């Protein structure tokens, strides 16, 4: 096995791991132990990958060996026993689901079909910021909240064609959805004794964690069922815009897929779309804005680019984005330094394998530390911590789409994020319009040095404190 810190009997390294920022802690360990670090977390054998070269070995050379997922109590329950995509083991059913989602749910043409939804919602957010900037000039606007609200509204419309208005009945529905989602995220990151010490599962029952998990599952299940029933209601009529639920139900009814899709498969996939799709894009925009506030030269360049390209048109449309190479570089640079999922989603080996000269047994959990790889000086040269979008215009061209292992915010290989195009469309359109429409300042009494880079623990790496900035409308 690769080297790693010495652990204690029975619990291994469990107590040594810093749960507040595991990606940072694992990166520090890699400075001592090298590109492959071994850990023992309870009964689980874990190997952490911290360089582009090793990531390529795992996600390309030996992708087939390393493309399963470990199971945990929380994931099993919320994924309808692995009937989803993100947490399913690598088997025939997963392969069919992945193909189906690539072809029917996240293809370029499907992503394109939701363009009006994205443009409409981004325009609404810009209007809202604009109103708030006019009414109380120097009051800071909570961009973190606005971005979360934007991405969850977009995802709800893409997934099941519903727009949750703020306030009124829609407001109640929206907060129900949001609190269910928050609880699901909490369940994914909660410590279940049974995951590490199977004989101690009773502790999870006694602590109430299993009860919380079951409650969350039942509430989300009822929510999905309501949406399914609404879509199956014959009086619903034909909708102008086909949503993901419509597509899945057609496949379910038509039996055109090789696996017999059940309603549980559909519910499990919806869970992935909500969990994977809502806050990852919001986090990417918030980190981009944070870096730009800390780097006024880059902010100036990005604003100049978008304002020159768009002129007095009033809104950046999706087709305009192709004319904004600097903006695209800002997004890549942000995803390099603060990938929304810093440790991607853990993988599990299906058979013994030699990796970097070490013997990795079957059923080893693999964490690919994309956050560490983004700061590897071998790949990124001197000062990898520096925010410098210009680096993407020098030397070899590097993209985020899974072919360049020094930049893998969406993963790579068989488990790559299937919704990468949808995610980039959300992020680039929102950011471009925020930069086009407003000049941004720190709240009175603060400077950009006061902006912290602290993160919240979780699968998605959010900024710990909300990003609140003062917006002044740019006169076109």
Asked if 374 touches ligand HEM (CB under 6 A), the answer is: no
Asked if 369 touches ligand HEM (CB under 6 A), the answer is: no
- 42 or 409, CB closer to ligand HEM? 409
According to CB under 6 A, which residues from 326 to 345 bind ligand HEM? 340-341, 344-345
Minimal distance, residue 412 CB to ligand HEM, in Å: 6
Stretch that binds ligand HEM, among 40-48, 189-197, 275-283, 461-469 (CB under 6 A): 275-283
DSSP helix, strand, coil percent of the chain (3-state; round to 5): 55, 10, 35
Asked if 273 touches ligand HEM (CB under 6 A), the answer is: yes
Total residues at interface with ligand HEM (CB under 6 A): 26
Which listed residue (281, 290, 349, 433) binds ligand HEM by CB under 6 A? 281
Distance CA 33, CA 30 (A): 5
Residue 462 pairs in a beta bridge with 456
**Tokens describing residue 293:** 């506030």
- 114 or 440, CB closer to ligand HEM? 114
Three-class DSSP category at 5: coil
Find out whether 443 and 469 touch, Cβ atoms under 8 Å: yes
Tokens 């009006």 appear where?
116
User: Nearest-CA neighbor of 339 among 272, 273, 423, 450?
Assistant: 423
- 110 or 174, CB closer to ligand HEM? 110
- 273 or 470, CB closer to ligand HEM? 273
Asked if 154 touches ligand HEM (CB under 6 A), the answer is: no
Asked if 422 touches ligand HEM (CB under 6 A), the answer is: yes
Contact pattern from residue 428 through residue 447 relative to ligand HEM, giving x for each residue in contact according to CB under 6 A and a dash for the rest: --------------------
Each residue of 122-155: b (16+ CB within 10 Å) or e? Answer: bbebbeebeebbeeeeeebbebbebbbbbbbbbb
Which listed residue (122, 284, 293, 316) binds ligand HEM by CB under 6 A? 284
- 42 or 339, CB closer to ligand HEM? 339
- 85 or 146, CB closer to ligand HEM? 85
Which listed residue (83, 328, 415, 462) binds ligand HEM by CB under 6 A? 415
**Tokens describing residue 475:** 């006169």
Stretch that binds ligand HEM, among 28-36, 209-217, 274-282, 439-447 (CB under 6 A): 274-282
Asked if 85 touches ligand HEM (CB under 6 A), the answer is: yes
When CB distances to ligand HEM are compared, the closest residue is 411
Beta-strand ranges (E) seen in 69-151 are 141-142
Which listed residue (373, 409, 429, 461) binds ligand HEM by CB under 6 A? 409
Distance CA 183, CA 454 (A): 22
Q: DSSP of 390-429, one letter per residue?
A: GGGGSSS---SSSS-TT--TT--GGGS-TTHHHHHHHHHH
- 49 or 379, CB closer to ligand HEM? 49
Asked if 427 touches ligand HEM (CB under 6 A), the answer is: yes
Minimal distance, residue 164 CB to ligand HEM, in Å: 17
Q: DSSP of 183-220, one letter per residue?
A: HHHHHHHS--HHHH-GGGHHHHHHTTHHHHHHHHHHHH
Q: In whole angstroms, how large is the CA radius of gyration of the chain?
A: 22
Asked if 419 touches ligand HEM (CB under 6 A), the answer is: yes
Distance CA 42, CA 196 (A): 5
Contact pattern from residue 97 through residue 126 relative to ligand HEM, giving x for each residue in contact according to CB under 6 A and a dash for the rest: -x----------------------------
Asked if 280 touches ligand HEM (CB under 6 A), the answer is: yes
Enumerate the H helices of 350-395 as residue ranges.
370-373, 377-380
- 324 or 416, CB closer to ligand HEM? 416
User: Nearest-CA neighbor of 227 among 265, 267, 260?
Assistant: 267
Residue 325: other Cβ atoms inside 10 A: 13
What residues line the site for ligand HEM (CB under 6 A)? 85-86, 98, 272-273, 276-277, 280-281, 284, 340-341, 344-345, 409-412, 415-419, 422-423, 427
């Amino acid at each position: 096995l690769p080297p790693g810190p010495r652990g204690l009997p029975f619990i291994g390294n469990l107590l040594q791991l810093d749960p507040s920022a595991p990606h940072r802690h694992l990166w520090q360990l890699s400075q001592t132990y090298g590109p492959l670090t071994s850990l023992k977390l309870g009964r689980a054998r874990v190997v952490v990958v911290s360089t582009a070269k090793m990531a390529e070995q795992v996600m390309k050379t030996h992708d087939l060996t390393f493309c399963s997922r470990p199971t945990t109590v929380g994931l099993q329950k919320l994924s309808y026993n692995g009937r989803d995509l993100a947490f399913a083991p690598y088997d025939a059913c997963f392969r069919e689901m992945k193909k189906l989602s690539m072809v029917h749910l996240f293809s370029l043409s499907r992503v394109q079909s939701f363009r009006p939804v994205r443009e409409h919602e981004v325009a609404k957010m810009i209007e809202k910021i604009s109103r708030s900037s006019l009414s109380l000039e120097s009051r800071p606007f909570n961009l973190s909240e606005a971005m979360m609200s934007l991405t969850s509204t977009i995802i709800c419309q893409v997934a099941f064609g519903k727009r949750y208005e703020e306030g009124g009945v829609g407001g109640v529905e929206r907060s129900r959805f949001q609190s269910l989602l928050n609880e699901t995220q909490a369940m994914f990151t909660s410590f279940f004794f049974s995951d590490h010490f199977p004989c101690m599962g009773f502790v999870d029952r006694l602590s109430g964690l299993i009860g919380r998990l079951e409650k969350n599952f039942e509430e989300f299940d009822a929510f999905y069922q309501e949406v399914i029933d609404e879509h199956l209601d014959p009086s619903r009529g034909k909708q102008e815009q086909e949503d993901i639920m419509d597509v899945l139900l057609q496949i379910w009814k038509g039996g055109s897929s090789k696996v017999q899709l059940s309603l549980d498969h559909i519910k499990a996939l919806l869970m992935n779309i909500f969990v994977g799709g809502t806050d990852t894009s919001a986090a990417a925009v918030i980190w981009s804005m944070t870096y730009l506030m800390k780097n006024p030269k880059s902010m100036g360049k990005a604003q100049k680019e978008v304002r020159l390209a768009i002129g007095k048109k009033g809104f950046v449309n999706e087709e305009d984005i192709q004319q904004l190479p600097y903006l695209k570089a800002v997004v890549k640079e942000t995803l390099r330094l603060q990938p929304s999922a810093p440790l991607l989603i853990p993988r599990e080996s299906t058979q013994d394998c030699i990796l970097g000269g070490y013997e990795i047994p079957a059923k080893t959990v693999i964490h690919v530390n994309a956050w560490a790889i983004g700061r590897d000086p071998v790949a990124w040269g001197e000062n990898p911590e520096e925010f410098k979008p210009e680096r993407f215009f020098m030397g070899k061209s590097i993209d985020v789409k899974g072919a360049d292992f020094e930049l893998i915010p969406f993963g790579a290989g068989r488990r790559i994020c299937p919704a990468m195009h949808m995610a980039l469309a959300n992020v680039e359109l929102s950011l471009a319009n925020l930069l086009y429409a407003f000049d941004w300042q720190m709240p009175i009494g603060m400077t950009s040095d006061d902006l912290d880079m602290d993160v919240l623990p979780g699968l998605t790496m959010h900024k710990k404190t909300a990003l609140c900035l003062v917006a002044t409308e740019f006169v076109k």
